[in-house]
Amino acid sequence: MNGITRVRALVVTLVGLLLASAIPLLATARPAAASDNGQSVRPAMGWSSWSFVRRTPTEAKIKAQADALVSTGLKDHGFVYVNLDDFWQKCDDNGFVVDSYGRWSVDTAKFPGGIKALADYIHSKGLKFGFYVTPGIAKNAVTRNTPIEGTSYHAKDIADTSKTEKNYNCKNMYYIDYSKPGAQEFVNSWARQFASWGVDYLKIDGVGGADIPDVQAWDKALRATGRPINFALSNNLPIADAATWRRLSNSWRTQGDVECYCGPGSNGSGYPLTDWSHVLGRFNSAASWQPHAGPGGWNDLDSLELGNGDRVGLNADQRRSHFTLWAMAAAPLLLGTDLTQLDSVDRAMLNNDRLIGVDQDGVAASRIVNSGVRQVWSKKESDGQYVVALFNTGTSGSTSVSVDWSQVGFTGSGDVTDLWSGSRKGVIADSYSATLRPGETRLIRVKPVGSLKAAAAPGMAVAPYEYLGWGSPPDPASVMSATGVRWFTLAFILSDGGCNPKWDGSRPLTGGNDQAKIKAIRAAGGDVTVSVGGWSGAKLGEKCSSASALAGAYQKVINAYGLKAIDIDIENTEWSDATVRQRVVDALKIVKANNAGLKTVITFGTTTSGPDATGVDMIRRAAGSGLANDVWCVMPFDFGGGSTNMGALTTQAMEGLKARIKSAYGYSDATAYARIGLSSMNGRTDDTGERVRVADFKAMLAYAQQHHIGRLTYWAVNRDRACGSGTDGDACSGVSQQPYDFLKVFAQYTG
């Protein structure tokens, strides 16, 4: 490992990732038994055809909405799904027209190019395609006794013709008897067809308690396709089966439709799309279902009717309250309006990344005040701040809504920021109140004043690397005293020749100097994350033969020190091997599932324009596998050519990284920035002539402060001093400086 290079550690448990628009991570224990299909780590965002397009979808209409998501900039804020709902199918007098294998046929009058062509168009826009189905098998399939693809079975072998399934379009759907051979295979064939068309999101509608076998079958079938597909259930699902819905799917509709069906068109279509009573009904269901939401599975409150101004049936105050409730509930944000006619007032609402951040933080709020028209909801962010929403749900008369900080979860004073306006309201003691118009809301973020001093100290996001095996390591307590840092990234854990972790591959995890140093750091009020990998030595990713074995090795390190974060510094031969990269991804999924709240960082090299082809592949593998990695951290140095303007080159590389993360995961800009980090190198790098100076660190700090990135660190505190007699590149920077000049710059960063 060129002693000097590499690594970075840490995960951002978010010592500050929650400033204004940054997206915080879940701090509390996650609900048990979430779907492990890797989808919907955060609530889905996009557009659905039902509310506005209703029963008359066409290829042209869906393409127009996809175009509008891009042209209006909504895509850039995270609205990426384009979901085609019901009425894409062709019907006759006996129900759905079916193909040769008994599956619904596409109405080619509406979709002349077919569904795959539509999905391809949507994908070409950088968006994702959603689709629709209901449980059961069509009467026409049974009447024709169509074969089940790839089997010797037929429709009559699996249909229970004594019962008809709920269907809102062509009707005439029989139950499937899943005790019969061929039943699962029928659903598998349908799922394969959808996957081949490019479906990224599948809504199965008309689901009730009696349809659990169908949900199980579809969950199994979608996984078997090998295509990542977000699996959504609808509608008005029984809460008694909440644990089942969470285990098998990624979202579930908690009530009936939010649409009022009170428009002038057929079946109540047209404007208005909804009314306040339909939105108001969601307050109680959101409160009841709150314990069941979390990463991988969300309470779906139905479409967000925002975008067409007052025409939707809500005034501006009510629309803000509508958005606020959905965000506080961490519900999917699926717009139901006509995006080709986006209202300017609503566009400003939808572009508010502070609101989107509240939705995407992975925490469903609890209702703490429910008194007449007065409601208050609250949730705690992972850095100790709170988000609080106050509502006047009435339809006439202003009213004062108040909440004590003790009800929110702390006592004393709180530093308040209004999230709709972005304005700071200052420090407010004991309680907060607002006089609200009928239907109005106030959404605030509150930082308990008692935590301000602690929050100002750099934490996990600025955990400098220290290597205890060489480089004349400084005493961590002295570094803490001199710079104010509290966290360190200790390196490196390697293989001892097999799938067993040791410091440098030789020193035991416990009982030695490494553990003693960790205890001393914690005794001084700090903490550590541990870095696994680096440039040199035998890597666990290569020596462990499977993802489960590698996860077990990582777990030994986590258990040895009770870690809150782990850094996987993947370099050299471990990085260049695609099989190993996938093994690391799969191992981290296992580790995150088994360690609630553990933060993971993946650290790797970069070009001046961002990740190279291998880095892009790693990110795509992780996103496709459903790994919700907390921080993607690049090492912006060793660029070659004697580069000197390393601050500018670093921010350029970071923008490239942000674009790759945003694209792969479908994040908003704010979320993407919160999930990236940098680990620079101070002073002389491994490339002759390349120098990273204190001025460059200041440029990196400014970038971090502007975008609230998840990680700002460097290699290494061992080198943060001038060279002198008896020192070399592993123990000094190679530039003129005072001790810890570089760390003192990064120590100003709080997230």
Q: Give me the pLDDT at residue 31, please.
A: 53
* pLDDT at residue 259 tops 90: yes
Q: Give me the pLDDT at residue 339, please.
A: 98
State the burial class of residue 515 (Cβ atoms within 10 Å of its Cβ: 0-12, 13-18, 19+).
middle
Report the candidate in 301, 352, 328 with the shortest Cα–Cα distance to residue 408.
328
Q: Give me the pLDDT at residue 468, please.
A: 87
Peptide bond connecting 595 to the previous residue in cis, omega within 30 degrees of 0: no
What is the per-residue pLDDT across 172-214, written as a single tens digit (0 to 9) for each? 999 999 999 999 999 999 999 999 999 999 999 999 999 999 9
Check residue 659 and give left, alpha or beta (phi > 0: left; psi -120 to 50: alpha): alpha
Q: Give me the pLDDT at residue 54, please.
A: 97
Q: Which DSSP string corresponds to 477-507?
A: HHHHHHH---EEEEEEEEESSSS-EEETTTB
Which tokens belong to 197?
A: 């068309």
Instruction: Return mean pLDDT, the chain.
Output: 91
**Cα–Cα distance between 719 and 467 in angstroms, integer?**
10
**Cα–Cα distance between 692 and 735 in angstroms, integer?**
9
Report the candidate in 635, 717, 637 with the shortest Cα–Cα distance to residue 676.
635
Q: Please report how many Cα atoms fall inside a 13 Å half-sphere around the Cα of residue 350, on the Cβ side.
A: 30
Report the candidate in 549, 585, 570, 596 with the shortest Cα–Cα distance to residue 493.
570
Q: Give me the pLDDT at residue 643, please.
A: 64
Question: What's the angle, vertex CA 530, arms to CA 552 and CA 616, rounded to 5?
Answer: 80
CB 419 within 8 A of CB 354: yes
Quickly count: other Cβ atoms within 10 Å of residue 208's Cβ. 16
* Total residues found in the chain within this entry: 751
Quickly count: other Cβ atoms within 10 Å of residue 475's Cβ. 10
* pLDDT at residue 165 tops 50: yes
CB 356 within 8 A of CB 304: no
Q: Which DSSP string corresponds to 44-83?
A: -EEEESHHHHTT---HHHHHHHHHHHHHTSTGGGT--EEE
Q: Give me the pLDDT at residue 746, please.
A: 94
Banded model confidence at residue 641, pLDDT cuts 50, 70, 90: low
* Three-class SS state of 683: strand
Percent of the chain with pLDDT over 70: 93
**Active site annotation includes 165:** no
Least confident of 17-26, 131-140, 470-479, 708-717: 17-26
CB 47 within 8 A of CB 85: no
Least confident of 36-40, 426-430, 562-566: 36-40
* pLDDT at residue 464 tops 90: yes
Backbone angles phi, psi at 355, to 5 degrees: -70, -45
Banded model confidence at residue 136, pLDDT cuts 50, 70, 90: very high
Backbone angles phi, psi at 323, to 5 degrees: -65, -40
**Cα–Cα distance between 666 and 343 in angstroms, integer?**
24
* Three-class SS state of 697: helix
What is the per-residue pLDDT across 91-128, written as a single tens digit (0 to 9) for each? 999 999 999 999 999 999 999 999 999 999 999 999 99
What is the per-residue pLDDT across 2-56, written as a single tens digit (0 to 9) for each? 333 333 222 222 223 333 333 333 333 345 467 888 899 889 999 999 999 999 9
Q: Give me the pLDDT at residue 14, please.
A: 28
* Three-class SS state of 225: helix
Backbone angles phi, psi at 38, to 5 degrees: 80, 5
Banded model confidence at residue 295, pLDDT cuts 50, 70, 90: confident
Least confident of 170-174, 469-473, 662-666: 469-473
What is the per-residue pLDDT across 578-611, written as a single tens digit (0 to 9) for each? 999 999 999 999 998 888 888 999 999 999 999 9
What is the per-residue pLDDT across 313-348, written as a single tens digit (0 to 9) for each? 999 999 999 999 999 999 999 999 999 999 999 999
Task: Please identify which of the residues 571, 574, 655, 690 carries the catalytic annotation.
Answer: 571
To 10 degrees, what angle do helices 646-665 and 613-625 make?
30
Specify the higher pLDDT residue, 484 or 249.
249
Based on C-alpha coordinates, what's the Rg of the chain? 27
Q: Give me the pLDDT at residue 488, please.
A: 95
State the burial class of residue 89 (Cβ atoms within 10 Å of its Cβ: 0-12, 13-18, 19+).
buried
CB 712 within 8 A of CB 725: no
Please compute the mean of the pLDDT values over residues 243-272 and round it to a whole number. 97
Specify the higher pLDDT residue, 318 or 668.
318
Q: Enter the pTM of the model.
A: 0.65
Banded model confidence at residue 455, pLDDT cuts 50, 70, 90: very low
**Cα–Cα distance between 48 and 106 in angstroms, integer?**
18
Alpha carbon dihedral 105, 110, 115, 121, in 10-degree steps, equals: 180
Q: Give me the pLDDT at residue 43, please.
A: 95
Q: Give me the pLDDT at residue 686, please.
A: 86
What is the per-residue pLDDT across 493-512, written as a single tens digit (0 to 9) for each? 999 999 999 999 999 999 99
CB 328 within 8 A of CB 353: no
Percent of the chain with pLDDT over 90: 81
Report the candidate in 681, 656, 698, 699 with the shortest Cα–Cα distance to residue 735.
681
